[in-house]
Structure 1
C-alpha cells in the first residue's frame, strides 16, 4: 500500500498526519509513505526528522482581504497542481490524504483530477477555506467533531477522530510525573499555553503565584520557550512556591498528560483529542486569534458535555483560574464526573478508523 500525505503550516495539521503514519506502519509494516509540504513551512523540519520521504511544492495561502497577492496565489496554485500531479504520477499512491493547511489544496485537488482516491481530515469543529474547497472533489471527509458535519456533503463524511489521540494512550503516568519533579501521589494540574506559550495564561498564573503554596494540590506550569526567561524574572520577584514546578517546554507531553488530574490550556483540536482520549478534565481558554474562532467552538463541544470549563480570554484572571481549579480538584465528585464525561467524548482508535477508510477506498 502506498499513501501520499499532505498537511502543513501548523503543528495541528502536521502532527495528526505523523501520528497516522506511525500507527499505520504498526498495522501494515509494508506500507510506503510520501509527504508533500512546503519548503518554508514547519513541516519541512518536522517530517524529514521523522524519517519520512518528503517533497515540496511552492504555494501560499489566500489573504482574507482584497490583495494583488491573491492573484499571485492563484498562479502558484495552478503551478502547485502541476507539480503535485508530477509527484503523484511518480509515486503512484493508492490514496492521497490531506490533513489541512493551504499546501493540501493543490496536492489533493491534483490527485482528484488524476482519479486517485482522496481523503481530507478536518481536525476542527469549523473547517478552513482549503478543506471547504476540497470537499467538492474528494472521496471521503474524516472529521473529529460532529459539529463539522454541517459544512460538508453529508454522504462523504465519516467521524474518525484525531490520530494524535491514539499516541497518548498506554503511557506510565507515575513515570511522567516523576520525570518533571511532581509527587506521584498528589493531585496535579498542568497549566500550558501551547509550545510557544500564551501570555494571558502566563499573566494569570503570575498574578496568583504567591497565593498557592498552601493548596492541597501541585502545579506543573509550562510557560512556552518564548516566554520562559521573562516569566522567571517575575518569579524571582514573588518567589517560587514548593508546589509549583515551572518548565519552558515538555518533550514528553503524552507521558505527563497520563499522570495529571486536570489541564488548563488553549483549545486546539489536537489538545482536545489528547485530553478526551485520556478522560482528562480541562479548563479551556480558547485563543481568540484563530480563523473563524474555531477554538471556542471546539471547546464548547467539551463544556456542553460537562467535560470542561470555558473561560474566554477577556474574562480570564488569576483569581478566576484558582477558583476554577479549586472547584474541580478539591471536589472529588466534580473531578470524577468530569473525568467520566471527558472519557465518554474521547475517540481512542482514530488511526484505526482512518486506516479502515483508506483500505475501503483502495
Structure 2
C-alpha cells in the first residue's frame, strides 16, 4: 500500500498528519509513505524527525483582505500544482490524505485529477477554505466537530471521527502523574498553557490569580509561559511580591516536554482553543477555561471553544475580556465548586474521542480496499 500524506504550515495541520502516518504504519507495517509539504512550514522540521520522507512543492497562501497581493501566490500555486502532479504520478499512491493548509490544495487536486482517491481531515469547527473547496472531490471528509458539517457542500461525504491524539496522552496514569508533581490526593491542580509560544495576554491575566493562590494549601498551579516571555514574566511575578521559593504550590516554566503528565494530573486547564490541544483535553476528560486566539484564521478557535462550551465541558473567556478580570472571576468560581468541575469533567469525557485515529485509519483502509 502506498499513501501520500499532505498538510502543512502549522502544528494544527502537521501533527494530525503525523499521527495518521504512525497509525497507518501500525495497521499496515509494509505501507510506503510520502509526505508532501513546503520547505518553509513546520513540516520541514518535524516530518524528517519523525522518520518520514518529505517532498516539497512551491506554494503560497492567499491574502484574504488584500486581493491584489495574490497574483504571486496564484503563480506559485500553479507551479505547485505542476510539481504535485509529478509527485503523484511518480509515487503512484493508492490514496492521498490531506489534513489542511494551503499546501494540501494542489496535492489533493492533482491526485483527484489523476483518479487517485482523496481523504480529508478537518480539525476545526469552522473548516478551512482548502478543505471546503476540496470536499466535493474527496471520497470522504473526516470531521473533528460535527458542527463543521453545515459548512461543507451538501454532496460531500462526511463522517465525524474526532482528531487523532498522541497515545501518550491517553495512556498517562493519573495517580503516578500526580505523584510526579508532588500533589496530595485532595489538592486541586490547575494547569495554564498558552500554546508552544505562550500567550502574553493569558500570562498577564494570571498574575492576580497567582497572587491569590500563593501559599494556598488546597490548590497547586503549573503555568507554562512560553520561552519568549519567561524571564520578563518572572520579573513581573516578583514585582507582585510573589516569592516562588517561599510558596511551593506555584510552578512557572517556559515550556514543558511532558505535557501528557501535566494533563493527566490536572483538575482544571486554562488554554487556547486550537483543535489539537482541545482534543487532548477532551480525551483526558478535563474541565477547561478556553481563551480563543483572536487572530486565528476565520476566528476558528472561538468556534472550537463555543462548540465545547455548549456541551458544558468548558467556559469561554475572550481575549479582550482578560484585562477586565473575567479570567480571575471564572477560575475562582470553578475552584470553589468541585461539583461543577466534576460535571464539566463528565461532559468533557463524553466529547472526547480517544478512538479517533483508529476511526480515520479504517476510513482510509476501506477506501483503498474499495478502489
Q: TM-score range by the shorter chain?
A: over 0.9
Shift of 1:68: 3.9
Distance 1:85 1:166 in 2: 34
Counterpart of 2:157? 156
Unaligned runs of 5+ in 2: none
Counterpart of 1:213? 214
Q: In the alignment, is residue 265 of structure 1 matched against residue 265 of structure 2?
A: no
CA contact (8 A) 1:208 1:318 kept: no
Distance 1:251 1:176 in 2: 14
Counterpart of 2:281? 275
Q: Residue 136 of structure 1: SS of its match in structure 2?
A: helix
Q: In the alignment, is residue 349 of structure 1 matched against residue 350 of structure 2?
A: no
Q: 1:252-279 deviations in whole A, cap 9, x for unaligned? A: 2123211111100011111111111111
Distance 1:318 1:344 in 2: 32
CA contact (8 A) 1:204 1:317 kept: yes
Shift of 1:65: 2.4
Q: Residue 41 of structure 1: SS of its match in structure 2?
A: coil
Shift of 1:15: 0.7
TM-score calculated relative to the size of structure 1:
0.95
Shift of 1:219: 0.4
Counterpart of 2:234? 232
Counterpart of 2:313? 307
Distance 1:97 1:306 in 2: 33
Q: Residue 8 of structure 1: SS of its match in structure 2?
A: coil
Shift of 1:177: 4.1
Counterpart of 2:118? 118
CA contact (8 A) 1:84 1:110 kept: yes
Mean Cα displacement is larger for which, 126-135 or 158-167? Answer: 158-167
Unaligned runs of 5+ in 1: none
Q: Residue 256 of structure 2: SS of its match in structure 1?
A: coil
Distance 1:168 1:23 in 2: 15
Counterpart of 1:92? 92
Q: 1:179-217 deviations in whole A, cap 9, x for unaligned? A: 5x4425322010011000111100011234222124311
CA contact (8 A) 2:215 2:248 kept: no
Distance 2:165 2:59 in 1: 26
Distance 1:198 1:306 in 2: 25
Distance 1:353 1:281 in 2: 25
Q: In the alignment, is residue 243 of structure 1 matched against residue 244 of structure 2?
A: no
Shift of 1:110: 0.6
Q: Residue 316 of structure 1: SS of its match in structure 2?
A: helix
Q: In the alignment, is residue 338 of structure 1 matched against residue 344 of structure 2?
A: yes
Residue correspondence of structure 1 range 29-178 to structure 2 within 5 A: 29-154=29-154, 155-164=156-165, 167-178=168-179
Q: 1:48-87 deviations in whole A, cap 9, x for unaligned? A: 0111111100100001124443112112112111111111
Distance 1:279 1:342 in 2: 5
TM-score calculated relative to the size of structure 2:
0.93
Q: Residue 33 of structure 1: SS of its match in structure 2?
A: strand
Counterpart of 2:199? 198
Shift of 1:243: 1.0
Distance 2:84 2:211 in 1: 56
Distance 1:50 1:116 in 2: 25
Shift of 1:334: 1.0
Distance 2:322 2:177 in 1: 29
CA contact (8 A) 1:165 1:348 kept: no
CA contact (8 A) 2:34 2:55 kept: yes
Alpha-carbon RMSD across the aligned residues, in angstroms, is 1.7
Distance 1:32 1:173 in 2: 36
Distance 2:200 2:294 in 1: 13
Q: In the alignment, is residue 287 of structure 1 matched against residue 289 of structure 2?
A: no
Distance 1:6 1:340 in 2: 35
Distance 2:223 2:210 in 1: 11
Distance 2:325 2:176 in 1: 31
